[in-house]
Amino acid sequence: MNDALDVALRLLVVFVVFLTFPLIVGQTEHKVMAHMQGRLGPMYAGGFHGWAQLIADGVKFAQKEDVVPAGADRRVFQLAPAVALLPYLLVLLAIPIGPSEGAVGQVLDAGVFFVLAVMGVGVLGSLMAGWASANKFSLLGGLRTAAQLLAYELPMLLAAASVAMAAGTVSLPGILHAFHWWWVPWQIVGAVVFFVAGLAELQRPPFDMPVADSEIIFGAYTEYTGLRFALFLLSEYAGIVVLCGLTTVLFLGGWHGPWGADGLGWVWTLLKAAILAFVVIWLRVTYPRLREDQLQKLSWTLLVPLSLAQIALTGIVKVVIS
Amino acid sequence: MRLASSLNPAAAQHGFLSPTGVEIAFLLVGLVTFGAALVTVTTRQLVHAALWLVVALGGLAVEYLLLTAEFIAWVQVLIYVGSVVVLLLFGLMLTKAPIGRSPDADSGNRWAALTVAVAAAVALVWVVVDAFRATWIDLDGPPAGTTRVTGESLFRHWVLPFEALSVLLLAALVGAIVLSRKATADADASGPTAGPTAGAAAGPGATSGPKATADTPVARPGEKEGAR
């Protein structure tokens, strides 16, 4: 009974995090973007600086009619948002935010593989949406999504493999237990590659070619309305939370900080992830969109060689110090 | 793998094929996987076949999990669901992916294919059973199937086949690049329309047609597969 309660409590906490953190990132994005562009952003909903804007948006989405195009493949079309969203919920289960046993949803032996594998599944949702919409712009968006995933999953995996080599384990808490501060400069190239490739996998600007609204309307999500569209948006923000959490855990030392290691480790994790989320928003405001061929070129000619060099460096240092 | 499950401690207590929870789950997931695989090869809707393949491959991953082979399970999801099926869908969308039934999505070779499939399955089951009939599993050490145990057996006992396989994959990678380069050169020689498939898929989106062909997406999947 106690075990069941424990599992239920963990699932509940992860679910609440899954529901709230993406909204916090979304609201931060509204505000940060507005201030970077010299305007105010949402100010009215909820009274204080428009804090309830996203709730209002959610209510609006829920009230809209759920339209399925006549020529669409109904079942695949309706299933796609769930396939896009659920993987991020599963990934959140495996991300540790503190050193204790209670600060992670579930300790997984092959945690790095689990998170990368399940994150890759989420892209299937965009592909399904792109195909099932019976719309040429959606199909183009789906194609671009697939090409982007294939290009950027490899450097992401290689960068994560470098950290796993350094730590001698593929368990996420295990990597953090093996962490020392000098890993940050040692793995910095891998960190940048991982973060950039992750941004591309989430299709965030400057890698938002699959949803480029000035060219293909909204890519794979063009035909979606109402709640299903909101679910796709939510999956993007959940993806930001997951990516920032993972980068923190793998490359920035997670719960390790200059002080307050006992009991306050989770503050460090959240702080680092929040700074990374700010960087994600910052990049959106400041960088223009990459063209499709530039996207591919960046991955195959820059990120893959860099991540391979990082793995070589990791191997050399590892052999020298052991 | 199947033998490993029948030898694990729970099964040893209850005897062969007694209905413990794990075994029931294993059977049910197996049925779902088998059903999804059947639909994959019988459905007339091309993209649905690819999506049912996701279910079948995911079901296999769950079976690995139930056999405590956690590492293999996640690699299965990463490589097959996350990459191979995405590649398949990419190929389908790039060429022709009609919504609804394709009347021509059928083969006259179905009986030959069925014979080959059954023969391959029998051969595989026989070889696996024969190879591992006398294998003993050490229950005192760390559980078989964890990353550490898998890595040790792979890089201590089986390192030569592993390296031979990577050379094979490298050969496939080089071959894919050579073939795609040759095709592009031939197409350039015959006329300016280098990528009829990409152009057809892009349709009226004429801006992305030339980009997609200049991008040689054909070569990329090969590179990716080989690199793994």
pLDDT band at B164 (very low <50, low <70, confident <90, very high): very high
In terms of Cα–Cα distance, which of A264, A269, A235 is closest to A249?
A269
Shortest Cα–Cα distance, A51 to chain B (Å): 37
Classify residue B30: in a domain, yes or no: no
Classify residue B37: in a domain, yes or no: no
pLDDT in tens, B24-52: 888 888 999 999 988 888 888 888 888 89
Query: For tokens 């299965």, what's the residue?
Result: B76
pLDDT band at B16 (very low <50, low <70, confident <90, very high): low
Q: Is the peptide bond before A206 cis (omega within 30 degrees of 0)?
A: yes
Q: Coil, helix or strand for A51?
A: coil
The ipTM estimated for the assembled molecules is: 0.80
pLDDT score of B120: 95
When comparing pLDDT for B201 and A280, which is higher? A280
Query: For tokens 């999504």, what's the residue?
Result: A145
Classify residue B176: in a domain, yes or no: yes
pLDDT band at B56 (very low <50, low <70, confident <90, very high): very high
Classify residue B62: in a domain, yes or no: no
In terms of Cα–Cα distance, which of A5, A4, A25, A3 is closest to A241?
A25
Q: Which domain holds residue B181?
A: 158-228
pLDDT score of B225: 41
As a dihedral over the C-alpha atoms of residue A54, residue A56, residue A61, residue A63, rounded to 10 degrees, the angle is: 160
Q: For residue B169, count other CB atoms closer than 10 A to its CB.
A: 14
Q: For A166-170, A291-295, B93-97, B109-113, which range has the lowest pLDDT when averaged over its residues?
A: B93-97
pTM: 0.79
Q: What is the DSSP letter of A47?
A: S
Q: Residue A217: is it exposed, middle or buried by C-beta count within 10 angstroms (0-12/13-18/19+)? A: middle
Say yes or no for a CB contact (<8 Å) between A124 and B86. yes
Q: Which domain holds residue A84?
A: 2-321
Classify residue B147: in a domain, yes or no: no
Mean of pLDDT over chain B: 74
pLDDT score of A38: 85
Which alpha helices (H) appear in chain A, and where do they start and end?
Answer: 2-36, 53-63, 74-94, 111-132, 136-167, 172-177, 183-186, 188-202, 213-216, 226-251, 261-286, 292-297, 304-321
When comparing pLDDT for A243 and B153, which is higher? A243
Q: Does B201 touch chain A (CB under 8 A)?
A: yes
Show residues of chain B in contact with A73, CB under 8 Å.
Answer: 47, 99-100
Classify residue B4: in a domain, yes or no: no
Q: Please state the separation of Cα A5 from the chain's center in Å.
A: 29
Quote the number of domains for chain A.
1
Which alpha helices (H) appear in A37-110, and where do they start and end?
Answer: 53-63, 74-94
pLDDT score of A176: 82
Token output for B141: 């050490």
Classify residue B127: in a domain, yes or no: no
Residues of chain A whose pLDDT is less than 70?
1, 101-103, 105, 260-262
Show residues of chain A in contact with B221, CB under 8 Å.
Answer: 150
Which residue in A has a C-alpha nearest to residue B215's C-alpha?
A293
- In chain B, the percentage of residues whose pLDDT exceeds 70 is 68
pLDDT score of A133: 83
Q: Using CB atoms, which residue from B48, B86, B201 is nearest to A127?
A: B86
What is the C-alpha to C-alpha distance for residues A56 and A66, in angstroms, rounded to an integer? 18
pLDDT score of B126: 93
pLDDT band at B124 (very low <50, low <70, confident <90, very high): very high
Show residues of chain B in contact with A110, CB under 8 Å.
Answer: 70-71, 74, 146-147
pLDDT score of B18: 61
Show residues of chain A in contact with B147, CB under 8 Å.
Answer: 109-110, 113, 169-171
How is chain B split among helix, strand and coil, in percent rounded to 5? 75, 0, 25
Q: For A193-202, A311-320, B90-99, B112-121, which range has the lowest pLDDT when averaged over its residues?
A: B90-99
Say yes or no for a CB contact (<8 Å) between B89 and A150. no
Question: pLDDT at residue B208 above 50?
Answer: no
Question: pLDDT at residue B69 above 50?
Answer: yes
Q: Residue B70: is it exposed, middle or buried by C-beta count within 10 angstroms (0-12/13-18/19+)? A: buried
Quote the number of domains for chain B.
1
Classify residue B189: in a domain, yes or no: yes
Farthest-apart Cα atoms in chain B, separation = 71
What is the C-alpha to C-alpha distance for residues A150 and A147, in angstroms, rounded to an integer? 5
